[in-house]
Structure 1
Amino acid sequence: MRNYLAEFFGTFWLVFGGCGSALFAAGIPDLGIGFVGVSLAFGLTVLTMAYAVGHISGGHFNPAVSIGLFASGRFEAKELVPYIASQCVGAIAAAAVLYVICTGKAGFVIDPNTAGSFAANGYGTLSPDGYNATAAFLAEFVLTAFFLIIILGATDKYANGKFAGVAIGLALTLIHLISIPITNTSVNPARSTSQAIFVGGDYIPQLWLFWAAPIAGAIVGGLIYKSLLEKK
């Protein structure tokens, strides 16, 4: 149970900190943190929770990461469902808190036809810069694959584990710097689901991509590291 609670709180913090920075701080006139600030916020959520609860659960905070670690042989199949459930519940709980806070501001509106509404992920007309489904899928696939390679390399028994959280957090920052204009950056099905639930509209049917692409990329990244890079 401690593992599942760690995944719940870690994913809650990722969504609350990352999406919260996009909702509250990115667009403030003249003082907004912009794409760079939001990217750092997502990276910092993972970095801080990796050190806070990573020793309890492994610090996945992402269904794709759990599945990628399973593909690499570093995670047991029997733990996949409870981990993914804990991550999704944590993400949805964070989105619910964000929604309550946002509705405390006069004039706040969630528009399901606007790209990036409520920090949600999308493609086509819901992509921040108009990228289609093929471009979005490829970006999410490649970025998640490299994320898994970085995670597996940074946590390898031959690596300096003390800095694993830094490497992983900075990797997620870089991923956001690359892909916010494309999909508003997912690489995490739980994070995408939590925001889409509160936005609704076409964000719901587009969720398939933000499950399929990260999971496929995570599996490929896990297999690449296991087969080609891991020291036997």
Structure 2
Amino acid sequence: MAVPDDLIRRITAEAIGTFILVLVGTGAGITFGNNAYAFGFVLMGVMYAIWHISGAHVNPAVTVGLAAVGRFPMSHVPWYIGSQVAGALLASLFLRLVYGNLNNLGAASVADGFSSLDGFLLELVATAVFVFVFIAVATEKR
């Protein structure tokens, strides 16, 4: 099955956008220990850079959410998720090559006094809110 040129362009933009997001956001977590602002600002820049090409999902949860509400073709979901995972993995590999074998390499962890389940539930709710806001902003006419 041949992949249309337009889809290749879109998934390439997603891979590059996700690479940049993970590289800068996680890299800030490694070097500064606090990466919330880094993720926010780099996400804004990536969205401006690739919105017109791919829709700037740069997150599999956004891709699945848009498909679930009928705003994105289900046939493109595997391609988008594959490109996002590839971009994230390449950024992580690059950070590993640059910083070596650090303990957490910028990974988030649950604070003392909270369980893994607490962290999972918080991430679940935060991701649902993020996807809801993305869908509301990206798909509604104002």
Taking the aligned partners of 2:124 and 2:117, their CA distance within structure 1 comes to: 10
Q: What is the identity, as a one-letter code, of the residue corresponding to 2:107?
A: A
Query: Which of these residues, 124, 127, 146, is aligned with residue 129 of structure 2?
Result: 146
SS class of match (1:120): coil
Q: After superposition, give the CA deviation of every residue in 1:186-232 in whole Å (9 maximum; x if it has no partner).
A: xxxxxxxxxxxxxxxxxxxxxxxxxxxxxxxxxxxxxxxxxxxxxxx
* Pair 1:2-2:15 in alignment: no
Aligned to 1:12: 19
Mapping of 1:75-224 within 5 angstroms?
Answer: 75-103=72-100, 109-111=101-103, 117-122=104-109, 127-159=110-142
* Structure 2, unaligned runs of 5 or more: 1-7
Taking the aligned partners of 1:129 and 1:69, their CA distance within structure 2 comes to: 35
Taking the aligned partners of 1:120 and 1:149, their CA distance within structure 2 comes to: 24
SS class of match (1:118): coil
Taking the aligned partners of 2:38 and 2:71, their CA distance within structure 1 comes to: 28
The alignment's TM-score, normalised by the length of structure 2, stands at 0.88
Identity over aligned pairs, percent: 36
Aligned to 2:4: none
Taking the aligned partners of 1:128 and 1:10, their CA distance within structure 2 comes to: 29
Q: What is the identity, as a one-letter code, of the residue corresponding to 1:87?
A: Q
Q: What is the identity, as a one-letter code, of the residue corresponding to 1:74?
A: R
SS class of match (1:155): helix
* Structure 1, unaligned runs of 5 or more: 27-34, 104-108, 112-116, 160-232
Q: What is the identity, as a one-letter code, of the residue corresponding to 1:153?
A: A
Q: Displacement of 1:130 after TM fit?
A: 4.5
Q: What is the identity, as a one-letter code, of the residue corresponding to 1:85?
A: G
Q: What is the identity, as a one-letter code, of the residue corresponding to 1:66?
A: T
Equivalent pairs, count: 135
Q: Displacement of 1:73 after TM fit?
A: 1.1
Query: Given the superposition, is the C-alpha separation of residues 131 and 99 from structure 1 closer, same or farther in structure 2, using an over 3 Å criterion?
Result: same
